[in-house]
Amino acid sequence: MRITDIKTLVVNAHLRNWIFVKVETDQGLYGWGEATLEWKTRAVVGAINDLKPLLIGEDARDITRLSEIMTKHSFWQLGVIGKTAISGIDIALWDIRGKALGEPVWRLLGGKTHDKIKLYTHLGLGESTAVYDSLETNRVIEQALEVIETGYRALKVVFIPYINYTASLREVKHVENMMGRLREAVGNDIDIMVDFHGRPGSASAAVQFIKALEPAHPLFVEEVIQPGDPMAMRDIRNKILCPLATGERLTSAAEFEKYFMLRAIDVAQPDLCHCGGFTEAMRIGAMAAVAGIGIAPHNPLGPIAGVAALHYDIATPNFIIQERMEVVPWFHDVIDGHPDLRNGYWLLPEEPGLGIEINEDVAAQHPYKQEPTNVIQAATISDGTIVHW
């Protein structure tokens, strides 16, 4: 079963352009993957086109071999753009393999380890303004209750202010009050996660905010500092009482290994569209399990990314909870075969491969547009200093 072509389909979904990847074979089978990367759309599409000549004529069933080719024959060390390109192709290859064997991808990854998959979403179900402009307490509570009314039993908030290396008492108290009122409003049966988005510029500032959140018992706090400093993460973990998560911007098992070796986190958050697809994500999950660390995959992306995460979650014993966002009103129209969602859980799909098909007519109605930059340009503090979004 030889690869004959690799194509991309870009679909604009406001804050992100979804990059769908289609791998075609000489037997008529094809697979779909996703390689979405914010504000890097054209670069990722170019990287996929650069990888394509390495794979044309190769057997689509030899997925590990093809992952090795893409990684090692690129010569240069691959950053997030290259790894995202590889991820989209890898996911599509597993889709092909499942279709060829008549089995869902999760069975090929080792089979069922859960009967259903717990989900969480963001305020506004993921609409960008609701997610990233959530610093007003009453509005946050109102939107959280709206999420719960849709059936979710878990939600994530992003209400850490834009700061630099220190946090003022006013900022810390505002976060403490907001979290306390949110917990009171939703009750103790709802899981709350707090995404710091890497905004604190120092470990000490991150700890101040985490301590303010702890009385409300978050399920975990996420990306409390910028990625790449596992020693600082270990120091933070040793000073706090609630679970600590990171990983959405780590792109390989090698990068995760440093955190696992130090036991610097409690929850790993690989993104299948950035870390190398199923092939690398399975390694990351296994390494985390050995270190006693749970898995809660990152996914604010398109519908293929969500379905891929579902298959991964089913086969991952140390899975905890799955992120999901419906960022545009036509989210359900662009693919056929959405997973069955009931009471905040995904049920297990039984269709071969990923079990989805792209509606290319709907996709064509939303062509590429430049992603908006205003949401990240807001990351500036009062004295004009540029800080992390």
What pLDDT is attached to residue 134? 74
Look at residue 389 in the predicted model and tell me its pLDDT: 87
pLDDT score, position 128? 77
Catalytic pick among 73, 114, 122, 298: 298
Q: What's the pLDDT at 131?
A: 80
Q: Is residue 14 among the annotated active site residues?
A: no
Of 345, 349, 354, 222, nearest to 278 by C-alpha is 354
Q: How high is the pLDDT of residue 70?
A: 97
Give the Cα separation of 106 and 311 in Å (integer).
5
Q: Looking at residue 388, what is its pLDDT?
A: 93
Is 197 assigned a catalytic role? yes
Report the residue count for the chain.
Answer: 389
Q: What is the pLDDT along the chain (389 residues), one digit of tens a residue?
A: 999 999 999 999 999 999 999 999 999 999 999 999 999 999 999 999 999 999 999 999 999 999 999 999 988 889 999 999 999 999 999 999 999 999 999 999 999 999 999 999 999 887 878 788 777 899 999 999 999 999 999 999 999 999 999 999 999 999 999 999 999 999 999 999 999 999 999 999 999 999 999 999 999 999 999 999 999 999 999 999 999 999 999 999 999 999 999 999 999 999 999 999 999 999 999 999 999 999 999 999 999 999 999 999 999 999 999 999 998 999 999 999 999 999 999 999 999 999 999 999 999 999 999 999 888 888 999 899 999 98
Report strand pairing: 154-157 vs 220-222. Answer: unpaired
247-277 in b/e form (b: 16+ CB < 10 A) is: bbbbbbbebbbbbbeeebbbbbbbbbbbbbb
Q: Is 0.85 topped by the overall pTM?
A: yes
Q: Which fold has domain 3-103?
A: Enolase-like; domain 1 (3.30.390)
Domain segments of the chain as ranges: 3-103, 107-353
pLDDT of residue 132: 81
pLDDT value of position 135 = 78
| Spatial separation of the C-alpha atoms in residues 136 and 249, rounded to whole Å | 27
Residue type, 118: K
Find the catalytic residue in 14, 73, 114, 197. 197
pLDDT value, residue 376: 81
**CB 217, CB 242: distance < 8 Å:** yes
Predicted local confidence at residue 122, as pLDDT: 95
Of residues 302, 292, 243, 233, the one with CA closest to residue 272: 302
Crossing angle between the packed helical segments 277-290 and 80-101, to the nearest 10 degrees: 100
What CATH class is the domain 107-353?
Answer: alpha beta
What one-character DSSP code corresponds to residue 58? S
In this predicted structure, what is the pLDDT of residue 130? 79
Long-range contacts, 250-256 (Cβ 8 Å, 24+): 250/275, 251/78, 251/79, 251/80, 251/83, 251/84, 251/275, 251/276, 252/83, 252/276, 252/280, 253/280, 253/283, 253/284, 253/287, 256/284, 256/287, 256/288
- Summarised one tens digit per residue, pLDDT across range 291-334 is 999 999 999 999 999 999 999 999 999 999 999 999 899 999 99
d(C-alpha 19, C-alpha 40), whole Å: 10
Q: Do 341 and 349 touch, CB atoms closer than 8 A?
A: no
